[in-house]
């Protein structure tokens, strides 16, 4: 008689060291925001795999996690060659969603970055949200009490706001066959940086916080238009629109 497969024990967090690689850094020698967000994605999968829920588990069930929104705060510089500790945990769950908090710390324990990710469980065949498995809250060590999803409400866009044509390149497409959510941070930085000295200052300031709400997937070669403008009270608004279509992404960059 075959023994039953034991249920996985709860592992409430995963902590992994990451070294800031040369190609992840900009001309200032500091890690780009998109690299920090990629670390957060990677350690989230490592956490799931340690609980027995790897990519194969999801593929067999035609399920996948898709990022719905991100709040990424950069608090201190991470220099090229530095090794940091990246730790993630699930801090909330809803019927079809889960929220992770990921913290990036220097060896002395000081906080360099903090990321909130709202993920949506998706039925790949139907391209529609799917219910989070009932056993997940206990396994990930979080009560199913819910939370308020991240939303990005943009101020009114001025008619003369600069526009940039955006077309996804092959290296920005991930295994889900659409633009990886971290690539949007590069697009936002590019657009804000093109706004002259105020924009260049904003994308170099510390601390700074990015908030992104992903509304539609962006595929390879599909034309989009990005619009950027300063917000009253400080910060920058960013809107990515499918050509002659709805918003694909809304984002902000602020100084806190």
Going by pLDDT thresholds of 50, 70 and 90, the confidence category of residue 42 is very high
Averaged pLDDT for residues 65-71: 96
Helices (H), 52-135: 55-60
Same structural domain for residues 70 and 179? no
Token code pair at residue 234: 């400080």
Taking alpha carbons only, the member of 102, 135, 109 closest to residue 36 is: 102
pLDDT at residue 61, rounded to an integer: 94
41 & 158 share domain: no
Report the percent of the chain where pLDDT is more than 70: 95
* SS3 assignment, position 99: strand
Statement to judge: residues 145 and 162 lie in one domain: no
Output the pLDDT for position 176: 87
Indicate whether 188 and 249 sit together in one domain. yes
Mean pLDDT calculated for residue range 216-237: 94
Query: Cβ neighbours of residue 64 under 8 Å, at least 6 residues apart?
Result: 58, 121, 122, 124, 176
Q: Is residue 44 exposed (0-12), middle (13-18) or buried (19+ Cβ within 10 Å)?
A: buried
In terms of domains, do 143 and 209 share one?
no
* Interval 86-90 mean pLDDT: 96
More confident residue, 197 or 125: 197
| Mean pLDDT, rounded, for 247-256 | 94
**What pLDDT score was predicted for residue 3?**
38
Same domain for 243 and 138, yes or no, is no
- For 70-99, what is the mean pLDDT? 96
**214 forms bridges with which residues in the sheet?**
249
Q: What is the pLDDT of residue 8?
A: 57
Nearest alpha carbon to residue 121 among 110, 134, 102:
134
Quote the mean pLDDT of the chain: 92
- In eight-state DSSP terms, residue 173 is B
Among 149, 171, 195, the domain-final residue is: 149
How many domains, in total, are found in the chain?
2
Strand partners, 16: 86
Whole domain around residue 137: which residue ranges?
1-149
Do 79 and 4 fall within a single domain?
yes
Which of 149, 174, 194 is where one domain is finished? 149
- What tens digit of pLDDT does each residue of 181-220 get? 999 999 999 999 999 999 999 999 999 999 999 999 999 9
Are 159 and 193 in the same domain?
yes
Question: Which SS3 state, helix, strand or coil, does residue 188 take?
Answer: helix
Statement to judge: residues 23 and 128 lie in one domain: yes
Q: Within this chain, do residues 124 and 245 fall inside the same structural domain, yes or no?
A: no
pLDDT tens-digit series, residues 158-177:
999 999 999 999 999 998 89
- Three-state secondary structure call for residue 199: helix
Asked if residue 184 lies in contact with residue 250, where contact means CB atoms within 8 angstroms, the answer is: no
> If pLDDT is split at 50, 70 and 90, which confidence band does 144 have?
low
Is the model's pLDDT at 44 over the cut of 60?
Answer: yes
Residue 249 pLDDT exceeds 60: yes
Q: What is the mean pLDDT of residues 34-44?
A: 97
Are 4 and 125 found together in one domain?
yes
Domain boundary among 106, 128, 149: 149
Radius of gyration of the chain (CA): 19
- Give the distance from CA 211 to its chain's centroid: 9
- For residue 1, pLDDT beyond 80: no
pLDDT for the residue 10: 65
> Which long-range contacts does 138-142 make (Cβ < 8 Å, 24+ apart)?
138/10, 139/8, 139/10, 139/11, 139/51, 140/10, 140/12, 140/47, 140/51, 140/89, 140/90, 140/93, 140/98, 141/10, 141/11, 141/12, 141/13, 141/89, 141/90, 142/89, 142/90, 142/91, 142/92, 142/93
Residues 139 and 231 in one domain: no
What's 85's domain CATH number? 3.10.129.10
| Cβ density class 156-184: b for 16+ within 10 Å, e for less | eeeeeeeeeebebeeebbeeeebbbbbbb
* pLDDT (0 to 100) of residue 149: 95
């Amino acid at each position: 008689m075959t023994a039953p497969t034991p249920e996985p024990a709860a592992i409430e967090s995963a902590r992994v060291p990451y070294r800031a690689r040369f190609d992840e850094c900009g001309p200032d020698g500091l890690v780009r925001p998109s690299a920090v967000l990629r670390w957060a994605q990677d350690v989230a999968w490592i956490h799931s795999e340690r609980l027995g829920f790897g990519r194969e588990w999801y593929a067999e069930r035609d399920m996948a996690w898709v990022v719905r929104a991100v709040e990424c705060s950069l608090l201190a510089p991470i220099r090229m060659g530095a090794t940091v500790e990246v730790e993630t945990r699930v801090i909330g769950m809803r019927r079809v969603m889960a929220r992770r908090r990921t913290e990036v710390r220097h060896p002395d324990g000081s906080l360099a970055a903090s990321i909130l990710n709202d993920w949506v469980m998706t039925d790949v065949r139907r391209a529609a949200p799917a219910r989070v498995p009932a056993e997940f809250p206990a396994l990930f060590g979080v009560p199913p009490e819910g939370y308020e999803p991240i939303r990005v409400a943009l101020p009114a866009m001025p008619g003369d706001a600069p526009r940039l044509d955006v077309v996804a390149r092959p290296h920005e497409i991930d295994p889900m066959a659409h633009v990886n959510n971290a690539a949007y941070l590069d697009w936002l930085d590019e657009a804000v940086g093109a706004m002259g000295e105020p924009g260049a200052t904003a994308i170099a300031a510390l601390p700074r916080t990015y908030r992104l709400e992903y509304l539609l997937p962006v595929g390879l070669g599909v034309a989009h238009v990005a619009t950027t403008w300063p917000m009253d009270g400080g910060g920058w608004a960013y809107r990515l629109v499918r050509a002659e279509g709805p918003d694909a992404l809304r984002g902000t960059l602020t100084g806190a």
